Structure 1
Amino acid sequence: MKKLLYICCIALAMIGCARMGQPDGGWYDDDPPKVLSATPADQATNVNTKKITILFDEFIKLTDATNKVIVSPPQLEVPDIKAAGKKIVVELQDSLMANTTYTIDFSDAISDNNEGNPMGSYTYSFSTGEKIDTFEVSGYVLDASNLEPIKGIMVGLYNDLADSAFQTKPMLRVSRTDSRGHFVVKGVAPGTYRAYALQDADGDFRFTQKSEMIAFNQQTFEPGSKPDVRTDTVWRDSLHIDALKKVPYTHFLPDDITLLAFTHVLTDRFLIKTERVEANKFSMYFSYGHPDLPVIKGLNFDSNDAFVIETNEKQDTTHYWLRDTTLINQDTLRMEISYQFSDSTGMLINQTDTIESLAKTPYAKRQKEKNKEIDQWLKEQEKKKKRDMPYDSVWHEKPLEPKFDVPSQMDPDKLIKVEMPTPLQHCDTAAVHLYSMIDSVWYESDCRMEPIPHQIRSYQILADWRPGIEYSLEIDSAAFVDIYGNVSNAYKQGIKVKDEDEYGTLKLTISGVEDSAMVVQLLNGSDKVVKLARVNNHVAEFKYLKPEKYYVSAFIDSNGNGIWDTGDYAEGRQAEAVYYYPKEIEGKAKWDLNLNWNVTAVPVYKQKPEKITKQKPEAAKKLKNRNVERARQMGIEYLKD
């Protein structure tokens, strides 16, 4: 008996050494909530109740249930989901469907109330029939234009394989993507399916509005599974790995469904607004362009030859520059405009509206400000006169001031642009001169100035810019005169074209796709396009690369317009395919880099480099294991009960 008592004392002493008699207030609760029971039981069959109660071993809280908890099949009436004490109660509002597996996927929304220990991914299921469907399918949803993961978009399955099902029927089973664009659809029955993604604006679980972002896949699949083994990491604490364990599990397939989401071009045409921010022009903004511009009839002014019309390439925005100063000084312009308008069926009809275009700053106020400016100028001239300084006795209107995009240090392939503040009446291209210095002697060089298409106030100056050469761009005074008679001053700017030794080149040999109509884009660290190159004989080449870090993307230019185009569900047309070179590329001076790029060698959802991916994955919720750290600070070992 004494021996037994001695052994017990030794054991208690060892426990005391390990736990040091408990810290003040006790140890932290590091255990996640556990399910004690559920009514009906988890994976119950022949269920006919719409109320589910789940009981936990401690008080719990439910975070962001609206976005994180997914009920499948989707519910047209939003379920009532509440956490109270140690319970979660879910009340379904829709009628139960016969012989159907229901899943309530809580993802990571459940944690304990006091310490916030996450329960981890948890899914409850039941069936109204005699069996539970247990298959799962998973994959990714990416933005078709740039392969960014899309967070929070709805993903759904259909066993009706007709294209019309997506627009006429609610999804059969649903999930929602996480911050990685990843989704898992659970409780799937055997069969053949198609997968879709939908940014469901109206909550009807089908594609009914062209403004909704969607993704569709023509391919069908059948869910399946196989036994597999994964490696799990066992952590000793937040910094140290205790062990790597091989864990057998059921591997559900397919697990790599990739949906590329896009938004349709909204072709419904209506007038968004008219405005007259500047007195000398008014503007019209439409939701969609049309080759026929609005017809304007002046009601309190003569609209014949009254405007210089400036429109953008899409012809959805039009600026009307007023030629006559009398109209500029008129505060209100009343007019009747006729334009093409989309009716409720989407058909274009002729629409006539009467509008009033009001100057933002009334003429009286503008005149007062100008008189104040003239008075100030007169006072300055009078001061100069009294001090025997040079002065001017005649007021001059401000000259025309073009905006020159002309750097003093220039890349050999840069375009020089000139933007006029107002439309020109006269442009004397012969007054534009370019000189180059060779062996310390200036020589006149060939250059030409021409308008940029679809931009009536923008011009470009083209020349054979030779690396390492110094140039002087000189423009005579009065080279440009606008429609109001304002005249430009003389302009002179020195330009040094950088040496070729300051640059590298990049040559990409493309494979993996048959379509040769590909445009390759050189990107900076912000995923912005720096240069473009069309693929020619499977090769894309970039010259004059600065010594910086770059990334590369490409798209199949199916219609040859040089820009990426979105898809159209009614036409069964996917958005133009986009690819990313999966690695960073470092440009170096005097360095020619040749790379082979098979654009399909890496799955699309793994292609975009993490450094330029804006939608970063959120950190997974983990148990904090704070007792281990607390014990370490106390100089003891923490032994969990």
Structure 2
Amino acid sequence: MKKIFFLLILSFLIFSCARVGSPVGGAKDTIPPKVVSTNIDSSRVNVPRNIKELRIDFDEYITLKDINKQLIISPPLKKMKKILPSGMANKYLLIKWDDTLQANTTYNFNFGNSIVDNNENNALKYYNFAFSTGDKIDDLYVSGELKSPIADTKNKTEETNLVVGLYQVKDSMDYRQKPYYINKADPDGYFELNYLSPGKYRLLAFEDTNSNSVYDAGKEKVGFLKDEIVLDKSISGLKVNLYPSKKPLKYQEMKEVPGGILMTFEGNPDAVKVLSVSEKLQDYKVTHSPKSDSINIWFDAKKQNLGIDTSENLKFSYDDGIKKDTVSVFYRYNKKNEMSVTNNSGNLLAPNEDFVITSNYFVDKIQPEKWSLVSDSIAQEFSAKISDKNPYEIKIKSNFKEGKKYSLTVPKGTVSSFFENTTVSKRFDFEADKSEKYGSLIVTLQNAPAEKFWFQLLNESGIVAYSRYGKEETLTFKSLKPGKYQIRILVDNNENGIWDSADFKDGIFAEDVFVYAKKIEVRPLWEIRETWDLQAKEEIPPVKSTIEEKTAIPAKTDLPKK
């Protein structure tokens, strides 16, 4: 009996020891770590220039979350050595560097939300540590708001990385280096640059997609102020728009495509002169739309015996107005790349719209007299033409009646490119949809641009669903699919037929963009009328400072105008 009792006591003790750890129940820890001491004096002034580390001690164990992305040091330190903790939790944070600090300079270490406690991941939000090698800490600041009127539908990410920087105005400024002062913007676009010294600066904002704190032209959105900032007092309320940036003009690549070779460029060249340098390729056609990044070289590979049995090294010279060069591509004819026509719009045709078929080749000639359009076995009158705006599209017009079903037959050989034609007959079945499923929108513009513009309706995915180009001040859309739309105007200020993006290098702003303040909901059988005054001022809501030492921000200053 004593033996059984002894075993019970021993089991209880072992079980109790196994449960050492956090107590069960109670309120969840929501308190972020607290700073208890640092290796730099609390006054944080007259810090020796030869100091090589910053140590911050906390009241509990911490870890660092995305420290390489979130930590921003202004002015930047170029020779970073170590950041701890790395992996294991610790009660201190340590940053080491090899740089010699500048004289009479305020340094700001902005940790963002990277410092979190080890148990509950409570973040010490927007923590800054500033110190000065001079006898005072600079306390000027610049704040404002970033907006992106042109949404990026191709590269959407859950988290944007918008940064704002200030470059010191000097005789020579290298924008390929990190800004002298830099900080991240909040997810809603609000930004602050703190602990600034008086002086003259250029402001640059960009979408730092690769987190290198350097603006990459052509790859990242950009916004800037045309005029320099004279900082003798704090500035708030700046409003900066970010736009796609202009890519430097350069050749990119060549590859085999249906009908020949596709040559691509960055930077949208105005014109490119392309010539074949290969003796075997003498009969060819080059197509390029001005400001397009694509140049097509069309030829009959079978007739000229190019790349039929083995790959052929084809060489071409090009002149894009900036550079002349010779490039080559290994070409192999692909039998699957025959010319064809398809219907990419679905089998329901919206009221008052043309039926459109699309080719994978540049369409040079059509023979619609050999086509047939029937409804209820009765031939219908129609006309067809190659689209003026897109030579890969063919538009078919007819008196399409709601609820009626139609069949369009396009015999083989009746759609031609320069060296090819369709080899398979195609039949397209579709129905003219009923107007009761669609809504209409009439927009009257006040103070419309003097230049031509694109009036666009963007769907809820940010994709342009409807677009018009011209100078109309009253725009009517009669057959809109139900849904919510954002209205946008892109102004063709120089009327060159494309919307020009921002060029920070040459100080050229993107062409004007207007976005209607509210979204429009289109409903079946509803007619919506809107009046849009493009000169109406947008109200900016007040913003709060995140600077610890400040309790209020002065009234906003106006953004320097273009």
**Which TM-score bucket, shorter chain as reference?**
0.7 to 0.9
Q: TM-score if structure 2 supplies the norm length? A: 0.75
1:23-422 to 2 correspondences below 5 Å: 29-48=29-48, 49-78=51-80, 80-83=82-85, 85-143=90-148, 145-146=150-151, 151-160=160-169, 165=173, 167=175, 171-191=179-199, 193-198=201-206, 211=219, 213-221=221-229, 253-268=235-250, 270=251, 272-275=253-256, 281-287=260-266, 289=269, 291-299=271-279, 301=280, 303-305=281-283, 307=284, 314=292, 316-322=294-300, 324-325=302-303, 327=305, 329-340=308-319, 347-349=322-324, 351-353=325-327, 356-359=330-333, 402-404=341-343, 408-420=347-359
**Superposed CA offset, 1:9-33 (max 9, x none):** xxxxxxxxxxxxx965876544322
Aligned residues: 506
Shift of 1:261: 4.2
Find the aligned partners of 1:192 and 1:425 in 2 and give their Cα distance: 58
Structure 2 vs 1, CA of residues 415 and 23 (structure 1 numbering), >3 Å: closer, same or farther? same
Find the aligned partners of 1:531 and 1:442 in 2 and give their Cα distance: 33
Aligned to 1:560: 495
Find the aligned partners of 1:24 and 1:202 in 2 and give their Cα distance: 43
Letter in 2 for 1:75: L
Shift of 1:198: 4.3
**Superposed CA offset, 1:54-84 (max 9, x none):** 2222222222111111111122223633237
Find the aligned partners of 2:346 and 2:229 in 1 and give their Cα distance: 57
More helix by share: 1
**Superposed CA offset, 1:117-155 (max 9, x none):** 222222111111111112332233344533899832432
Letter in 2 for 1:352: T
SS in 2 for 1:151: coil
Contact 2:44–2:131 (8 Å) recurs in 1 = yes
Contact 1:36–1:55 (8 Å) recurs in 2 = yes
Match of 2:527 among 576, 585, 592: 592
Shift of 1:528: 1.0
Structure 1 gaps of 5+ residues are 1-21, 226-251, 367-398, 607-641
> Is 1:576 equivalent to 2:521 in the alignment?
no
Find the aligned partners of 1:311 and 1:118 in 2 and give their Cα distance: 54
Deviates more, 1:39-48 or 1:168-177: 168-177
Shift of 1:196: 0.9
Alpha carbon RMSD of aligned pairs, Å?
4.1
| Structure whose alpha-carbon radius of gyration is higher | 1
Find the aligned partners of 2:177 and 2:304 in 1 and give their Cα distance: 61
Contact 1:158–1:171 (8 Å) recurs in 2 = yes
Structure 2 vs 1, CA of residues 23 and 92 (structure 1 numbering), >3 Å: closer, same or farther? closer
Find the aligned partners of 1:117 and 1:425 in 2 and give their Cα distance: 65
Shift of 1:221: 4.8
SS in 2 for 1:46: coil
Contact 2:45–2:132 (8 Å) recurs in 1 = yes
Find the aligned partners of 2:528 and 2:512 in 1 and give their Cα distance: 26
Aligned-residue identity in percent: 23
Structure 2 gaps of 5+ residues are 1-21, 542-562
Aligned to 2:434: 498
Structure 2 vs 1, CA of residues 43 and 539 (structure 1 numbering), >3 Å: closer, same or farther? farther
SS in 2 for 1:119: coil
SS in 2 for 1:32: coil
Contact 1:550–1:585 (8 Å) recurs in 2 = yes
SS in 2 for 1:67: helix
Contact 1:312–1:318 (8 Å) recurs in 2 = no
Shift of 1:424: 7.2
Shift of 1:267: 0.6
Structure 2 vs 1, CA of residues 142 and 425 (structure 1 numbering), >3 Å: closer, same or farther? closer
